[in-house]
Structure 1
């Protein structure tokens, strides 16, 4: 499941020349899905147009699809325009490595669960993802290395953070901050189809390496048994 971040009224971050994160994320998401399909994977997307989807619903859509991996795509932003590079996150059930990034990406979540039933569901969401944290880290490492090598983006490392969009995913799940939309040079790259194709190729190769390292095993389907 490929998840282009933001959408609709949630525009995400904005570049100095006006590029919106929701627009760039959608274009990258389309490129990633197409490249995964070309590599023999079955790719689904959480959104294929300018639609807002609540953060709580994105991983659940992946669960409903029976997805084996969940990859959420975003663009980073910083007050310092010189900030550049890519980061790949997997879920932290505690404090994260970058509170500022977490605050921005979790901003569209709303108040979150409140009723007793939804609180129980939230705990179960955390437990569901906890079972896949090791595999999520492996996927993050595989993708990060390829973004650095193939797409030529400075590697800022693999990190953990309590992103709401990753909670509840009953499969390995990562959030990719592809580049800094706040950096004029990287914003210009994000507008180029050739650069987006390199990103898609890097993520696809990362996915292939992940499956190779796990001996082709599909962990998602072992949780609930066959079907």
Structure 2
């Protein structure tokens, strides 16, 4: 039986070396050890996409990248500029695309200059058209997005929403009939043999004599960074519901004593609590949020109307839908440090029983009319904890116009004739609601 030779450690440095040579070898070994233990410098972050969302409310600039970025910014006067330094990146072709993405009609940005300020630091200089109050923040990866660096450029002196609403009403009156340009004759939508009911829109009862204007808040869901649901043909919920809301706005404004505030009138993102606040600032009598539903199976179909729930969702599907819609802030991108979280929480928790009861009446009136032109997903108004319906003093409903995930209903939602029918149905439901529930004669704006 053989015996294994015991392992013996050999000296790394021969003892016979002169002392000065030993010090040299030791120093080299220490350097080698440090190079092994010291982490290599991190690779430069890479900009994946740049997007610009101009709107009268504010302009948003988004840089999507593959890691979290360090950023600093400051304002310069005479002329107005916003200077942003981004650490840890090198200038790449994608970032250079930002220059061409600034539109001439952007309310706040004249142009942007992009350059390598120093190694690993890129500087953006936004030449501004007016004084702005910038919010610069980062967003963690969510949904289809990776890390995002966001610049929200708000005007220092935003217009008063009530003054804007009054000015719009006066402009329509001065223009005479105020017939919207898109209201010309349109082709009737093709018959839909799959429907089990005959399309109908009953004439609404005349409104009672009013002593003040009725203000209606229309809320097209999603927008900007948040596309909402996407159909099999590529139709985006945010585009479809904005088109429907604009048609409904035009029809409402043709009614005597009605005017409309839209929470968004273009493709930009509005946080959920801001949608509620916008409606309250103009003392809205109704809040109507417009969406297009989606489901994992393309066979799901039909329109629905939802109100806020006092105790819980009326169905598992309603609970799931509310959770999905309430996640819009995560996708769209809310600056958590940019608003008073406590104020938003209080605002969204003050809903009253009277508000919810009125919302149900409005919901039933609108659902009946929509049922005349499209199949209903549920025959009754459903309830769930939608954050956007929590205005404490405004009857509020959320309409899921159809399933954009259903190819047949996606085709309807993008059809101009069907959009007109849908807007007419919602208008009729609103008129019938007011015919039975006249607005209170509160001390409101003229």
TM-score clears 0.5: yes
TM-aligned CA distance change 1:33 to 1:55, over 3 Å: same
Cα distance in 2 for residues equivalent to 1:122 and 1:87: 27
Instruction: Return 5+ residue gaps in structure 2 as ranges.
Output: 1-216
Alignment root-mean-square deviation, CA: 2.1
Map Cα deviations across residues 98-140 of structure 1 (whole Å, 9 max, x no partner): 12211211112348989xx744652453224544010000000
1:168 counterpart residue number: 391
Query: Is it true that 1:83 corresponds to 2:300 in the alignment?
Result: yes
More helix by percentage: 1
> 1:207 is paired with a residue of what secondary structure?
helix
Structure with higher Rg: it is 2
More strand by percentage: 2
Instruction: Return 5+ residue gaps in structure 1 as ranges.
Output: none
2:230 counterpart residue number: 14
Query: Is it true that 1:180 corresponds to 2:417 in the alignment?
Result: no
Tell me: higher relative CO, structure 1 or 2? Use CA pairs within 8 A at least 6 residues apart: 1
TM-aligned CA distance change 1:59 to 1:193, over 3 Å: same
TM-aligned CA distance change 1:58 to 1:9, over 3 Å: same
Is the contact made by 1:148 and 1:155 (CA closer than 8 Å) also made in structure 2? no
2:375 counterpart residue number: 153
Equivalent residue for 2:419, pick from 196, 208, 211: 196
TM-score, scaled to structure 2: 0.46
Query: Is it true that 1:58 corresponds to 2:275 in the alignment?
Result: yes
4+ residue runs of structure 1 moved beyond 3 angstroms? 110-114, 117-121, 128-131
User: What count of residue pairs does the alignment treat as equivalent?
Assistant: 219
Q: Which moved more, 1:98-107 or 1:61-70?
A: 98-107
Query: Is it true that 1:2 corresponds to 2:2 in the alignment?
Result: no
> 1:44 is paired with a residue of what secondary structure?
strand
Q: Which moved more, 1:95-104 or 1:181-190?
A: 95-104
TM-score, scaled to structure 1: 0.89
Cα distance in 2 for residues equivalent to 1:113 and 1:161: 25
Cα distance in 2 for residues equivalent to 1:6 and 1:121: 19
